[in-house]
Chains A and B, each alone.
Chain A
Amino acid sequence: MATVALRDVRKSYGTNAVIHGVSIEIADGEFIVIVGPSGCGKSTLLRMVAGLEPITSGTIEIGGRVVNDLEPRARDIAMVFQNYALYPHMSVFDNMAYGLRIGGIRGAELRARVEQTAAMLELTPYLDRKPRQLSGGQRQRVAMGRALVRGPAAFLLDEPLSNLDAKLRVGMRLRIKDLQRSVGTTALYVTHDQVEAMTLADRLIVMNGGVAEQIDTPMRIYLEPATTFVAGFIGSPAMNILPAQGTEQGVLLGAVPLALGRPAPGRDVLLGIRPEDLTVAPEGEGLPLTIRAVELLGADAYAHGEIAGGGEMVVRVPGKKALSPGARVGVLPAPGLAHFFDPATGRRLP
């Protein structure tokens, strides 16, 4: 168990900079999720913490000790790989025992520790099997077990659930959170799935193009996204972001005045409203919207439409009151839940 600190960590491959300075202080036992689109540098960041990639500049501390130049094995961490990286020629038992044996643990203690971890992950019946004789979900648990059994200072997980089918993934998600809480080990978890990110994280790092756009709790990121990228990435369906103009009373969206917040009068802004913060009203009230398509999910439906004066907008409506394409309605934004961003920098306006 340990704290982890990244201070202005950067990475370049040749002249190609892929991580542009990430800093975060992680408390002991905290569950940090690194989330972002594919190619934004999540794996690179994690692999630098693991010691699998040298860092170009900055410092990484684990347990108060700078580990910049330490080999992975000297960092007291365990990692779960996306493809699990189980040793194919070893039984499940030997896969889990590999690191312990290297650590000098033998005999009854070795057996006890492996068996205890295996029991925790319901792997006891499979201890003698080779990885190829296991299902995807079982392999994933072996990979988890191999990390857990060593009792490391920190867990690093790189998209550990992305090779599972949707149902297993939800089950394992809850389980990982449970396990991490019960052992109390600091965890860094990489995913591109925002639902995983929201549900698992104590704090989230939202990455985009090698930059940590926002580091905060999931709820604060949802409620106060720091940039248009974060606003669009967290939350599903994505936040509606439309150009608008500040007025004395509120904003002017297209030609429609809305009493939402108060950016400086006359100022151009980007107005963000989440689909779940909009309600449908009869035509004539609020913002006129022409429905183009409706996605019906059962409990909810997402109505995609076009607002007067151009611009797309998505509205969440109850499934039972789903609209039909072609309908003309008005939408009312919930007061106080609108977000304003600077059109030039994409940053949140106070």
Chain B
Amino acid sequence: MKTGREVGIAGYGVYIPAPRIDARTIAAAWGRSPDTRLPVREKSVPAADEDTVTMAIEAARGALRRSRAGPSAVRAVWVGTESKPYAVKPSSTIVAEAIGATPWVSAADLEFACKAGSEAMQTACAFVGSGMAEYALAIGMDAAQSKPGDHLEFTAAAGGAAYLFGPAADALALVEGSRSFVTDTPDFFRRQHMHYPEHGHRFTGEPSYFRHTLEASRGLLEALGRVPSDYRWAVFHQPNPKFMRKVAAELGFGEAQIAPGAVVDRIGNTYSGASLLGLAAFLDAARAGDRIFFCSYGSGAGSDAFSLVATARLEAARDAAPSVADYLERRQPIPDYGAYLRMTRAIRML
């Protein structure tokens, strides 16, 4: 898919909360042997005063700081998440108000499991690319929920990123094209009154993550007439360190192309935020002319693929807001499993 007029990322910002829980602390609480192989070493957890809205606000402010846009020029604020603080009441209006984009702005929360953030990116691209708006903000942010004791508890993490799309003249990275691939696949779901999602076990992996990521990625490469070696960097949805590496290898991307964006290795799976955070890590490092390949995945299921190329403006704008590395280095270890349960409100105050 291509836009009517050329569009780019005019600003980006990220957020990762400081608290971290060691995977061994979780394993010990559930009586697992200390030799158990764990998917990640530790994961990020929101502080008691943080949620998807507060994290999205900080990422959005970072995106504006790196851009030339004033807040009142932002014509849309879309928040993709599966951890809205309110069941009924948009998160996006609070974010829009906090950054000063209200009242002449479109706003909505988008839902599509871990693909909600990249869906917001597609939509923001179209809003700017059609000429309806000069700037539109797409956010993917999650404070992921996991059932205590479930294996997802080791990886369900918190964080994400915000991308301000704008005209090509303002771009830190240009969008060369995008592609979406979606089918009805029952791999992961949560009903209205359940606190935690369920897996459709026989649908995880091959028919879901791999199929959709491969199809969307190959579809975009084909449409643009490109091959993996045309890209300096590539980022995929990263529910764990293994899936992303396997899918990258299958497409023909090497470890050197994906390693700097493997944020999952450091903080776990940030769901709607995961692929967007990985992309930000590459924008933190890219030189003008570097091509970046991006493909998300969300259960349900679908993938959005983007091809981007960094511009000469990127390096000058980079230091206007904290980098992914700044947030990765800011760590506050959580002392024990009890403190973790209290912070994540798994213990409910009656």
User: Are A and B genuine complex partners?
Assistant: no
> B-side interface residues toward A, CB under 8 Å?
none
> A-side interface residues toward B, CB under 8 Å?
none
